[in-house]
Structure 1
Amino acid sequence: MNLHNVWYRGTVEFRWFEATLHAGRIKAYLQFCLAVAAKALNGRAASSRKRDFDPQSAKYDFRVFLLHLGLIGDEFKTARKHLMANMPGDAAFKNGRPKPEDVLPDETTTTLINEAGQVPGLTV
């Protein structure tokens, strides 16, 4: 971020993003910068505590941060998509997507076959 322009032109310059001509990415970067600036102007307090980076929850944490900035709804859907595209982890689950456990069949659907190859209680 270049604050040198504040004294000369009354503007702030963000040098965070790589050069691109992709309209969706440019829009996402602009919306993110505007949201950060609005949060800085309207926020009541700030925390100086540095958070540890956890690759398993990085995408989830950044998504929550974007939601706290106010990037909520369909109008910011592409911004969230482009900003979180290369982040590790899962956006929906903090500790990674849970693994499906082996589902045991219900007792009502299983049929027991005795040693003679017949189903008990079934007469033919």
Structure 2
Amino acid sequence: MLIRELAHDGFIGERVGEAAKPAEPKTVEPDQLKKETPRTVDPDRLAIELPKDGMTPTAIENLRRLVASKATLLKKALDTDSLPITERSDRIEFGWFHPTNDQAEIAAYYQLVQGLCELARTQKRVSATEQEVENEKYTFRCFLLRLGFIGSEYKEARKILLKNLSGNAAFRTTREAGDEE
């Protein structure tokens, strides 16, 4: 159901490393072929692709800086070693995710990528400097709220994205958590 809705909205999902099926076969003359270096990708990755519509070069640079500033948290939250952002002519590909059949998990990943792109689009400036984090879960939860993960409709997505992080999601420091008890 979710995949059909995303496809209806123009989003394309495919596992990284699998060839996309062309909608219509095209005939190409041999002299029209360009020599391209084949992509080396991990076939065990799920890629989420979003249309590039509305993503200016500044917005794409903001996206790269935003991801760089939260790289450690994103890598741990998504249980991945790298956060490649692949720019295509008409879309942006995020091959960060482990393949899953869990629709809630796929929806959480999609919402994360969509939130990152929207924030990158609306921010004038983004610092690529990563800050030291005392409480991973609290810091990432606040970041998710900044991305728009507010309300009960995002509760499951927040839970999925925070599950691999350590710390307390409700309190920034252990002292604050202790004062409440």
1:88 aligns to what? 166
* Counterpart check, 1:42 vs 2:131: no
Deviations 1:97-119 (A, max 9, x none): 31678xxxxxxxxxxxxxxxxxx
1:68 to 120, 141, 146: 146
- 2:119 partner amino acid: K
1:77 to 155, 175, 179: 155
Look at both structures and tell me which one has the larger radius of gyration over its CA atoms. Answer: 1
Please, what TM-score do these two structures have when normalized by structure 2?
Answer: 0.49
Counterparts of 2:131 and 2:120 in 1: how far apart (Å)?
A: 19
Query: Which one has a larger percent strand, Structure 1 or Structure 2?
Result: 2
> 3-state DSSP class of the match of 1:3?
strand
Query: How many matched pairs?
Result: 96
RMSD of Structure 2 on Structure 1 (CA): 1.7
Counterparts of 1:100 and 1:32 in 2: how far apart (Å)?
A: 31
* Percent identity over paired residues: 35
* Structure 1 residue 23, shift from structure 2 partner: 0.9
> Which runs of structure 1 show a deviation greater than 6 angstroms over 4 or more consecutive aligned residues?
none
2:107 aligns to what? 27
1:3 to 74, 81, 86: 86
2:133–2:139 CA contact under 8 A, matched in 1: no
Please, what TM-score do these two structures have when normalized by structure 1?
Answer: 0.70
Query: Which one has a larger percent helix, Structure 1 or Structure 2?
Result: 2
